[in-house]
Chain A
Amino acid sequence: MASTSTPKPDEKSSSPAGSKPEQSQNTKTAGALEEDDEFEDFPVEDWPAEETEAANQQGNNTSGGTAADHLWEESWDDDDTSDDFSAQLREELKKVDAAKRR
Chain B
Amino acid sequence: MSLTVQFLSEIRKFLKNRNGHGLRGLLLVEPPVPNNYYQLADELKQGYRNGASLLKLVDKCLPEDDNVSDDEGTAWPGFVSFMKDYLEYWRDVDFDDLLGAHQLLTALTNSCTTALNNPTYGTIMLQTSISLCGCLSKLSMMLNKRPDLTQKLQTVDAGEEEQKSIVETTAEIIQKVFTACLTDRSSQRHEQPKGKKTGVYTFANVTLKLLFAVSSENASGEAAFHKYHSQSAAVIILPGSAAGYFLYYLGRFHFINNHFSRAAQCYQEAYLETPQRFESHRWLVLTYLIPCNLLLGRIPSPQLLQRPEAQLLAPIYMPFVEAMRTGNFLRFQAALDANEKWLFSRGVFLTLLFRLRPMVWRAFSRRTFLLTYIAPTEADSRKAATLELSHLLTTATFVQKRLEGYLPAHPGRKPRQPHINSMFLKAHASAAARGAEILRPNEGLVWGNMPVTEDHIENFVASLVAQGLLHGFIAHSQGRFAIIGAKQKGAVAAGWPPPAEILATGLKAGEDVPGWVKRV
Contact = CB atoms under 8 A, between A and B. Distances in A.
State whether these chains interact.
yes
Interface of A: 1-2, 5-10, 12-17, 22, 25-28, 30, 32-33, 36-47, 49, 51-54, 57, 67-68, 70-79, 81, 83, 85-86, 88-93, 95-96, 98-99, 102
B300 A86 contact: no
B488 to A, nearest CB: 18
Given A6-B6, A22-B277, A39-B209, 18 more contacts: A13-B31, A13-B33, A16-B131, A17-B134, A27-B280, A28-B279, A37-B284, A39-B248, A40-B281, A42-B241, A53-B271, A53-B272, A79-B492, A85-B328, A85-B330, A92-B408, A95-B420, A99-B416
Q: Give chain B's interface secondary structure class.
A: helix
A93 B369 CA distance: 11
Contacts of A52: 239, 272-275
A73 B372 CA distance: 28
B304 A39 contact: no
Contacts of A40: 280-281
B371 A81 contact: yes
Interface in B92-117: none
Interface of B: 1, 3, 5-7, 9-10, 22, 24-26, 28, 30-34, 36-37, 40, 130-131, 134-135, 138, 209, 213, 239-242, 244-245, 248-249, 268-269, 271-281, 283-284, 287, 293, 297-301, 303-304, 308-309, 312, 321, 324-326, 328, 330-331, 342, 345-346, 363, 366-368, 370-372, 391, 394-395, 398, 402, 408, 411, 416-420, 424, 492, 496, 498, 500-501, 504
A39 B269 CA distance: 15
A81 B394 CA distance: 17
Contacts of B417: 95, 99
B367 A86 contact: yes
A98 B280 contact: no
16 contacts: A8-B26, A13-B33, A14-B25, A26-B279, A52-B272, A74-B504, A75-B498, A76-B325, A77-B492, A78-B325, A79-B492, A85-B367, A90-B371, A96-B394, A96-B424, A99-B419
Nearest to B399: A89
A7 B34 contact: yes
B37 A7 contact: yes
A36 B345 CA distance: 8
B245 A88 contact: no
A14 B34 CA distance: 12
Given A52-B239, A96-B394, A74 B368 contact: no
A72 B503 CA distance: 14
B492 A28 contact: no
Most buried by B among A22, A39, A44, A96: A39
A64 to B, nearest CB: 12
Contact of B371 (A10, A67, A93, A99): A93
A6 B391 contact: no
B420 A99 contact: yes
Most buried by B among A8, A79, A102: A8
Contacts of B416: 95, 98-99
Contacts of A102: 418
Contacts of B24: 9, 14
A38 B209 contact: yes
B304 A71 contact: yes
Contact of B34 (A10, A95, A98): A10
A86 B312 contact: no
B172 to A, nearest CB: 20
Contact of A71 (B34, B37, B300): B300
B36 A5 contact: yes
A91 B312 CA distance: 37
Contacts of A46: 240-241
Contacts of A95: 416-417, 420, 424
Contact of B10 (A1, A30, A39, A42): A1
Contact of A39 (B249, B297, B331): B249
A10 to B, nearest CB: 6
B216 to A, nearest CB: 9
A65 B449 CA distance: 47
B427 to A, nearest CB: 15
Contacts of B283: 28, 32
Contacts of B3: 5
A83 B366 CA distance: 15
B6 A79 contact: no
Contact of A45 (B5, B241, B345): B241
Closest 3 CB pairs of A and B: A9-B25, A1-B6, A16-B134
Contact of A91 (B36, B284, B330, B411): B411
B272 A57 contact: yes
Most buried by B among A17, A70, A77, A99: A77
Nearest to A1: B6
A78 B366 CA distance: 10
A55 B161 CA distance: 51
Nearest to B243: A46
A70 to B, nearest CB: 6
Contacts of A67: 272
A18 to B, nearest CB: 9
